Structure 1
Amino acid sequence: MAWFAFYLLSLLWATAGTSTQTRSSCSVPSAQQPLVDGIQVLMENSVTASSYPNPSILIAMNLAGAYNVEAQELLTHKLTASDAADLTIGQLALTIMALTSSCQDPENEVSSLQSQMENWAPSSSNAEATAFYGPSLAILALCQKNPEATLTTAVRFAKTLLANSSPFNVDTGAVATLALTCMYNKISVGSGESYRALFGQVLKDIVENISTRIKDNGIIGDIYSTGLAMQALSVTPEQPDKEWDCQKTMDTILYETEQGKFKNPMSIAQILPSLKGKTYLDVPQVTCSTVVVLEEAERKNPTFKFETTMTSWGPVVSSINSIAENVNHKTYWEFLSGKTPLNEGVADYIPFDHEHITANFTQY
């Protein structure tokens, strides 16, 4: 039997996992799910060759589960090719999370963001609250990649937030909550109580401020800040004194969606994760198919190339490094996990973390 093997997969930048545990659960009624699906399709259809590569859209697409795979791949490739030097701190952080959610390894972008945040400081002791929005995203993105290396920067950021006296901003507060919740959750109980106490204190102050912006109909701040605020309130370890009625917020958002309030792709990207029961903390848990991991292997190793052929069962790998299947010779590429053949196609099989998958060129 003719055979030739490639050992492909020990690089998995996103692993299978469950969604972030929420403190106040709510969901979209099944009768209104088509409404949510409709705005997701509208958002995904905004991705074209000429459109601005918006990382928030890719994050939302991956957290929700993309319907338009071509748009997903196009946006991933456009963000991969973007120049980090042209991006603000916030844009760079979102790009890192977007690429991570697409199972890419944004190593260069992470290094750049780490360097920028090591030198970051607000312009004054009472800087506008919006000045903390980008840095909050940066702490969140860096926490998800390397929380230990981010700790010193996160502590300095948290202390700066405590000392700042500018008027509160819901969007900034929500993203800061997600960032510091990530750091809080990464610290083992008993090994960093002073850090947990600091992050907990800041989180308590922020979520209390967010809770005072909850209107009688459930909207938090305004309709377009509600999506991020829902994420924040659903995951924070420090709950506000005023109980939040998540379902009331969800019902109002669905009503406003029905009224056509969410037509702009960016506004959809902000609300969609909450409608799908996800938050930005779920970015590292997004799962990717074997095809995606093959694409990442190809990107990281220029000597590795593969091709696929579309069949009624979806794409199959037909060639690796110019060694192609041949019907006349009864040869094909077989994929195995360890010594066990995969029971799903490469478009459907979801690898687990540190799994070793072999591509074996063999005969049937």
Structure 2
Amino acid sequence: MLSLVIISLTLVACATGKPCDTEESNKELLLSLNKDLLRSLERQEGLPNPSVHLALRLSNHHNLAMENEHLNRLKNNLHNDLQNSLSNSQSVVGLLALYTLALKSSCYDLNAVTFTVCEKSKPLLTHLKKQMHYEKEHIEFSHRPSTNYYQYSLGVLALCVSGVMVDNHVSNKLIKAVEHDHFKHSGGTDTYAMAGMALQCLKDAGSYVQNAGELDTALSKVKENLLASRRTDGHIGNEFSTGLAVQALLAMGSQVEECAAAMEAMRTDARSSTYHNPMAISQILPALQKKSYLTVKSKECLHEDDTLVLEPIDPVVVLPSESEVALTVEVVMSNGAAAVYSVDVPKGSSLLEALELLMGKNVGFTFNKEPSLWGPFLSVVNGEQARQSDRRYWQLSLDGTALSQGVSDFKIEESQKITIKNTSY
């Protein structure tokens, strides 16, 4: 009976928006998430993820040997990939900004990092400033960045936390984008969150903007949009945007109590293994530790706790599912033409595995995928490409509701219909 009373009191605390757990009671969960991120380094395919490194460095507990090994991979593998992109005049402002933040989180001397383009070697931050000016000019002519405002915000944030004076014309473009609601088709909650952290960094730094009042107004509007995106279950936007949203609210001065429902929602998700994607964990872990990417600015890398140890775990053997479910896939091309396909897949298959099975049936369905920090995404379906440069992407939806997970994360647990639509933004 006593246990039921305790549970009831806990539910009342959650319902009233008060923190349900102390940081001490959630220490085991935070350590588990931290270890999940470390283990992701061991099975990481492709380029090292700077967002994962950033979260590990912002954490309260460390495995410095593994973090240093990952830092070296960033400085080699990711650096070389960025070098190739810059040499080919590609816009990589978001990845370059994350790389900057990752290095800064390890207290690495950013002036010692250079890229050579057209036989001229220039520092990392010089290249980032150049990329930001290119994006700013693109906004002037096209009324939007060549990438998106999420990456643009990341660029402003990375320059600011690195102590670089952000050109007022660059920061003003971000302020105007907030003022005129240009984020609704550019990432929504995630973009507002990243913009909020970038603009707050400018305010904290006392950076000159064309109108300081406009900066305050933009920050207020960002906060209003984030708070307006709160759901009854505590999430802000959706379960995968809540981490950045909480980071932004904390950075902009919200009290921890104001974010209690969102933090509890993230803890609930974490305990139910919703956040198995390393990119997702890298965004919620700082938030659950009451930190944000702005914390990087004051990080000193001194007297760090180096007690995090990965215990050996038994390999998980996944047995083939004996039951199959029917999957219907509808493909809608840019001109509106639609085609429908059906395939039976083992229950629990990822959408990516299901699409591979469908393509193997040789019924006319084909697709290509490209890597990203969140995992693979569809780039070509039935011979038609959806390119960022054309402001298009392949939207995945279930019964008219856009999926919040990518093709490798979403699981097919029952018979259902997935729509893949070439969509503009």
| 1:174 aligned onto 2:219 | no
Q: 1:124 aligns with which of 116, 119, 142?
A: 142
| 1:263 aligned onto 2:294 | no
Report the more deviating stretch, 170-179 or 156-165: 156-165
Q: 2:57 aligns with which of 62, 77, 80?
A: 62
User: Deviation at 1:33?
Assistant: 1.4
**2:26 alignment partner in structure 1:** 32
**Aligned partner of residue 30 in structure 1, secondary structure:** coil
| CA spacing shift, 1:25–1:106, aligned 2, 3 Å | farther
Report the more deviating stretch, 272-281 or 39-48: 39-48
Q: 2:38 aligns with which of 32, 35, 44?
A: 44
**Aligned partner of residue 72 in structure 1, secondary structure:** helix
Deviations 1:117-154 (A, max 9, x none): 112133733779x8101110000000112343444421
Instruction: Give 1 or 2: higher strand fraction.
Output: 2
Q: 1:279 aligns with which of 278, 292, 307?
A: 292
Report the more deviating stretch, 117-126 or 52-61: 117-126
How far apart are the structure 2 equivalents of 1:208 and 1:267?
24
Contact map agreement 1:58 1:76 (CA 8 A) in 2: yes
TM-score by length of 2: 0.56
Report the more deviating stretch, 113-122 or 97-106: 113-122
Q: Which has the higher contact order (CA 8 A, sep 6+)?
A: 1
**Aligned partner of residue 142 in structure 2, secondary structure:** coil
How far apart are the structure 2 equivalents of 1:244 and 1:53?
35
Deviations 1:250-283 (A, max 9, x none): 1221111111111211111010001111110000
How far apart are the structure 2 equivalents of 1:278 and 1:73?
22
**2:243 alignment partner in structure 1:** 227
Report the more deviating stretch, 257-266 or 63-72: 63-72
**1:254 alignment partner in structure 2:** 267
How far apart are the structure 2 equivalents of 1:284 and 1:72?
19
How far apart are the structure 2 equivalents of 1:124 and 1:244?
41
User: Deviation at 1:67?
Assistant: 2.8
| 1:109 aligned onto 2:124 | yes
**Matched residue type, 2:175:** A
**Matched residue type, 2:200:** T
User: Deviation at 1:39?
Assistant: 1.3
| CA spacing shift, 1:29–1:143, aligned 2, 3 Å | closer
Gaps of 5+ in 2: 1-16, 87-91, 112-122, 305-425
Gaps of 5+ in 1: 1-23, 292-364
Describe how 1:76-115 pairs up with structure 2 within 5 A: 76-81=71-76, 82-83=79-80, 84-85=82-83, 86=85, 88-107=92-111, 108-115=123-130
User: Deviation at 1:159?
Assistant: 2.4
**1:134 alignment partner in structure 2:** 151
TM-score by length of 1: 0.65
| CA spacing shift, 1:25–1:58, aligned 2, 3 Å | farther
Contact map agreement 2:246 2:287 (CA 8 A) in 1: yes
**1:310 alignment partner in structure 2:** none
| CA spacing shift, 1:213–1:152, aligned 2, 3 Å | same
| CA spacing shift, 1:150–1:127, aligned 2, 3 Å | closer
How far apart are the structure 1 equivalents of 2:189 and 2:53?
23
How far apart are the structure 1 equivalents of 2:149 and 2:225?
15
**Aligned partner of residue 31 in structure 1, secondary structure:** coil
How far apart are the structure 2 equivalents of 1:166 and 1:176?
10
How far apart are the structure 1 equivalents of 2:103 and 2:25?
33
Q: Percent identity?
A: 28
Contact map agreement 1:151 1:183 (CA 8 A) in 2: no
Contact map agreement 2:93 2:152 (CA 8 A) in 1: yes
| 1:218 aligned onto 2:234 | yes
RMSD: 3.0
How far apart are the structure 1 equivalents of 2:170 and 2:235?
33
| CA spacing shift, 1:126–1:72, aligned 2, 3 Å | closer
| CA spacing shift, 1:25–1:180, aligned 2, 3 Å | farther
How far apart are the structure 2 equivalents of 1:100 and 1:80?
12
**Aligned partner of residue 193 in structure 2, secondary structure:** helix
Contact map agreement 2:159 2:165 (CA 8 A) in 1: no
Contact map agreement 1:211 1:244 (CA 8 A) in 2: no
**Aligned partner of residue 98 in structure 1, secondary structure:** helix
| CA spacing shift, 1:31–1:66, aligned 2, 3 Å | closer
User: Deviation at 1:164?
Assistant: 5.0
